[in-house]
A and B are shown apart, each in its own frame.
Chain A
Amino acid sequence: MNEFARLLDRLALEPGRNDKVRLLTAYFASTTDPDRGLALAAMAGDLPVPGIRPAMARALVASRVDPDLFAMSYDFVGDLAETIALIWPRDGERGHNNPPAPTLSVVVEALRATGKTALPARLAALLDDLDEIGRWALLKLLMGGLRIGVSARLAKTAVAALGPVSADDIEEVWHGLAPPYEDLFAWAEGKGPRPQSSDAAPFRPPMLAHALDDASLAALVPGDFIAEWKWDGARAQAAVFTLADGERGARLYSRAGEDLGGAFPDMLDALRGAGFPDAVFDGELLVRDEKGAARPFSDLQARLNRKNPTPKMLRDMPPLLRLYDLLTLEGEDLRPSPFMERRARLEAVARGVQHPAFDLSPTRTFDSIAELVEVRKNAPLESEGLMLKRRDAPYVSGRPTGQWWKWKRDPMEVDAVLMYAQRGHGKRASLYSDYTFGVWRGSELVPVGKAYFGFTDAELKQLDKWVREHSVSRFGPVREVAHEPANGLVLQIAFEGLNRSPRHKSGLAMRFPRVARIRWDKPPAEADRIEALEALLPVGPPETKPSVPRESA
């Protein structure tokens, strides 16, 4: 377990994709079954261990450590799992006569075999036996939030690098396999046969877009491309197929090949019941409201975060798949065909189906770059901007150049007044780095959001200084700063989207707010008013299908 933890620790800091693959391949080559298979499962999100809640972890550490010292440490480190891993006492110091630390498979087996009530004691015993990096990795695996920048795809690429097999080969058999993947490793190392995939609808790695830069925009030939909105949901691949007994089968994958079927059983039902022929679709997974319109991304996020949705979620947040490509139809692989041909077949299939869980992502043509610029300016609020797809592009896995472009819209901006500042965590623990800002409603300021990035280190120091010099009161780590019409600080805030939110006093919730500029020059009286933000909200309940002036086909 400690070796696997060291791998995760290193991966988290290594930015290079190829370097990550080398670290992973070296680990797979030097680690025996079943440990390496469990490691692969952990990175693919399939590790069969119980999750634990932060409250349980806190209770566990409270039984071992002075609560004041823990609180001070957590405030400094800023990450619960990491704080517990580092502060965990080493009472049973390992000497040379102690048994070696438990392996990953021993840890997984121990946790699997433990019931809910015995779990805290079992976990504590494991933490005693691991070192600080091992404890960190175990807690992250159980509590979630392990960010190592390794997708399931990347891990499979590293397995493929062990021998003659390619990552796409592995993809094709993957969904018929289960941890610890001993037959997969044997095949990848050239020591065993290709594992039999029992899966009728293997994941097909998706085609991805490049961000459009100025040079590529200038070189773009309007007649060669079709535009679509870039929806603010999650990329998904959906398959409908016929099982051996003649029943309908369905599968839903994320763009990285994770099986989303557990989180979206209602989407699987819809796929099976809508009357589709056997097909594999590419589309945007969204959550719809009672009128069928797409809901804010945060609602989708809530469902994506749950491995098993609650009954309330199933009732209140039904899914919507907005279709935009067709990969296979009745056994025929359409991927080599030009986009316009696939699109025509997709529209024909969609016409034959009336079901609230599906709609078609509209397309439009454009005659000039100038026209496209206008279209982008008027992008609906529930989109992130534009997708540009080459009419004759085949569907190629990965990110081929010049075929698909994404052109995000410019961020929205508002001038807001700094109201409260809070100390940050970690290296920022001593700096006021989290800023709550507001806009005018009548003669009072109403908070509309919180930003904690967007500024440089030098600006952070200036902001921190300003906060300290203009504090009017303190509540724990929070300072209220001067915010009157003639005395205060205006922040130009950029954000990606705006939604109604009953949880906020202003009734608004911003997406990705950040400080775009510090307006040292601007008096608070000249900051924006709430009406300016309300004008940016999606109108009423958004329409089911955003109107697009000219349909292409």
Chain B
Amino acid sequence: MKTADVLTLSPAGLYCPMGDFHIDPTRPSPRALITHGHADHARAGHGAVMATRETLDIMALRYGEGFTRSRQVAEPGRATRVGEVDVTFHPAGHVLGSAQILIEAKGFRVVVSGDYKRARDPTCAPFEPVRCDAFITEATFGLPVFRHPEASAEVERLISSIKLFPDRAHVIGVYSLGKAQRVMALIREAGWDRPFHIHGALEKISRYYADAGARLGEFTKVATAEKLGLAGEIVLCPPSAIADRWSAGFADPVRALASGWMRIRAFARRGSAQLPLVISDHADWDALRDTVVETGCSELWVTHGATEPLTHWARARGLDAKPLDMVGYGDEEAAVEEAAP
């Protein structure tokens, strides 16, 4: 048994012939296993979808209940027979409901990790390393210049900026699924107890997170009429709203963006951010390497992101590594924010 028997590349993405299913297909497919709810991985229009309960809920929130003809809940840690293989979902620590998918075929183990991170996130289950023969990883931040700082330190910078500029609104650009809620929870942990003011595009998912137990505290949708009155307050919106007219209505706003890309100054400048917050829901360079080592894999496929450097590193360690450079996974951090649900 070898990896190519278990997984192949089809025009729609990763395909398992022995189980006759795709994982995170980028076009409508008869049977899809979905790692998490971000739009580039979870698309509407498949015949049947298998995912964690949270991912299914999130897809229904975003696309409506008719996003697929039939659906099946994957219980984390419990193997399910699909065709000639067993599949098991394990937490990936990326966003609420995110999972890695273990495929076992006659004792040969392949893990498709989807997107993942190793840093602490109070709003979702932590990543679980899974031993495997072949590991299929992302490499969004697969360059040694990406080493994310402690998220709590970034939140401290935000809080001290609010103290220095109490007459300005702090408007933070965050992705609507995962980043928004994680940032709110981290700010709560830092002791901020005032209500958050959020863009309408963040509302549905944030309510879902709060109902699922995330400690986000009070948050309300921003009304256009009250924007000027929000000096000294924290406002959250999708990244695209940072640069456009939406954020201009606030009192002399300090524009912040929370993303791993903010480590690079050119990105912060281009994103119109005055306060770049290096907070990422992806593994950084160190975490990618540590994870590859922990899985004990002898073969590594790198799906998207900076595939070349990670492949280069893995080969130097004696791993059989190959870059896939799959298109379609723009990574939600780089992709244009989905339209408001």
Binding site for B on A (CB under 8 A): 6, 9-10, 12-16, 19, 22-23, 26, 65-66, 68-70, 72-73, 76-79, 82-83, 86-87, 90, 132, 425-427
Contacts and interface: CB of A to CB of B under 8 A. Distances in A.
Contacts of A72: 143, 306, 308-309, 312
B147 interface: yes
Given A77-B264, A427-B266, 9 more contacts: A6-B157, A15-B274, A19-B165, A23-B164, A26-B164, A66-B313, A73-B144, A76-B143, A87-B145
B306 A76 contact: yes
B263 A78 contact: no
Which 6 A-B residue pairs are closest in the complex by CB-CB distance? A426-B266, A86-B145, A73-B145, A13-B274, A72-B309, A87-B144
A72 B307 CA distance: 11
Interface of B: 143-147, 149, 157, 164-165, 252, 263-270, 273-276, 306, 308-309, 312-313, 316
A13 B268 contact: yes
A9 to B, nearest CB: 8
Q: Is the interface of A mostly helix, strand, loop or mixed?
A: helix
B264 A82 contact: yes
B267 A426 contact: yes
A427 B267 contact: yes
Contacts of B267: 426-427
Contact of A426 (B157, B264, B273, B276): B264
B317 to A, nearest CB: 12
B183 to A, nearest CB: 19
B263 A86 contact: yes
A16 to B, nearest CB: 8
A10 B143 CA distance: 24
Nearest to A18: B252
A13 B143 contact: no
A13 B252 CA distance: 15
22 contacts: A13-B265, A13-B268, A19-B165, A19-B252, A66-B313, A68-B309, A68-B312, A69-B143, A69-B309, A72-B309, A72-B312, A76-B145, A76-B264, A76-B306, A77-B266, A79-B266, A82-B265, A426-B264, A426-B266, A426-B270, A427-B264, A427-B266
A69 B264 contact: no
Contact of B144 (A19, A26, A69, A82): A69
Contacts of A73: 143-145, 309
Contacts of B147: 86, 90, 132
A9 B268 CA distance: 11
Contacts of B149: 132
Contacts of A132: 147, 149
A13 B269 contact: yes
Contacts of A76: 143, 145, 264, 306
Nearest to A68: B312
A77 B274 contact: no
Contact of A13 (B146, B276, B312, B316): B276
Given A72-B309, A87-B145, A10 B264 contact: no
Contact of A83 (B145, B157, B270, B312): B145
Contacts of B316: 66
Contacts of A19: 165, 252
A425 B164 contact: no
A6 to B, nearest CB: 8
Contacts of B268: 13
A78 B266 contact: yes
Contacts of B143: 69, 72-73, 76
Contacts of A426: 264, 266-267, 270
Contact of B313 (A69, A78, A90): A69
Contacts of A16: 252
A16 B168 CA distance: 12
Which of B264, B267, B275, B316 is most buried by chain A, counting CB atoms within 10 A of its CB? B264
A132 B149 CA distance: 10
A16 B275 CA distance: 13
Nearest to B271: A427
A12 B144 contact: no
Contact of A12 (B264, B265, B270): B265
Residue in A12, A14, A26, A72 with the greatest tally of chain B CB atoms within 10 Å: A72
Contacts of A78: 266
Contacts of B309: 68-69, 72-73
Contacts of B312: 68-69, 72
Contacts of A83: 145
A77 B145 contact: yes
B168 to A, nearest CB: 8
Contacts of B306: 72, 76
Contacts of B308: 72
Contacts of A70: 144
Nearest to B255: A13
Contacts of B252: 16, 19
Contacts of A22: 164-165
A28 to B, nearest CB: 13
B270 A427 contact: yes
Of the candidates B252, B265, B276, the one having the most CB atoms from chain A within 10 angstroms of its own CB is B265
A399 B185 CA distance: 47
A6 B160 CA distance: 12
Contact of A14 (B264, B266, B274, B313): B274
Query: Which of B164, B263, B273: most chain A Cβ within 10 A?
Result: B164
A87 B146 CA distance: 8
A73 B276 CA distance: 20
Contacts of A79: 265-266
A86 B147 CA distance: 8
B223 to A, nearest CB: 26
A15 B255 CA distance: 11
Contacts of B275: 10, 13
A452 to B, nearest CB: 13
A497 B331 CA distance: 43
A23 B264 CA distance: 22
B271 to A, nearest CB: 9
A498 B313 CA distance: 48
Nearest to B163: A26
Chain B CB within 10 A, most for which of A6, A23, A69, A79: A69
A341 B132 CA distance: 87
A69 B313 CA distance: 8
B285 to A, nearest CB: 9
Nearest to A428: B266
Contacts of A26: 164
Nearest to B153: A131
A19 B168 CA distance: 10
B273 A13 contact: yes
Task: Give the most central of A22, A65, A73, A425: most B CB within 10 Å.
Answer: A73
B274 A425 contact: no
Contacts of B313: 66, 69
Contacts of A68: 309, 312
Interface centre among A13, A23, A70, A426 (most CB of B within 10 A): A13
